Amino acid sequence: MTTYVDTSALLKRYVDEADSERAVELLMSDPELVTGRHTVVEVRRNLSRLLAATAATAARKAFAEDLSAVSIVELDAATCELAATIAEQTGVRTLDALHLGAARRIGTAITFLTFDARQAQAARSLGFAVAGA
């Protein structure tokens, strides 16, 4: 099974927050993880915002290593057009629409891993099985 991982789920691997343990279990349970290219920006921004400098540096290094095992959906014109349509249909925020558009490019026979309740609701409305939230 393939799991699409959004930022809310992936960030929990590097920042100790509610549901971090559960997120790590879910991330480790599927060897086929996928995310959108913009996740790199979101995770790195949040690492620098949430962690002290030394911890952020270590977390960025771990993230870079982990990312080498994750498939990336590029935010090409087709993905962005799909995300725009999803945003219009569901009313989700821009970055969430990009995640959903990237996941839709893979197909609906995937699990969408998120800990964002609004994102989870939108993913379900698009036919995704949702884990996390």
Tell me the whole-structure pTM to 2 decimals.
Answer: 0.94
pLDDT for residue 133:
85
Amino acid at position 35, single letter: T
- Indicate the number of domains in the chain: 1
Q: What CATH number did the domain enclosing 69 receive?
A: 3.40.50.1010
Long-range CB contacts for residues 57-65, cutoff 8 Å, separation at least 24? 59/14, 59/15, 62/13, 62/14, 63/13, 63/14
CA neighbor of 11 nearest in space, from 55, 50, 61, 65: 50
Write out the residue range of the structural domain in which residue 106 sits: 2-132
pLDDT digits (tens, 9 = 90+) for 57-106: 999 999 999 999 999 999 999 999 999 999 999 999 999 999 999 999 99
Rounded Cα distance, 120 and 100, in Å = 10
Rounded Cα distance, 103 and 79, in Å = 9
pLDDT for residue 116:
95
Strands (DSSP E) contained in 6-128 are 32-36, 71-73, 111-114
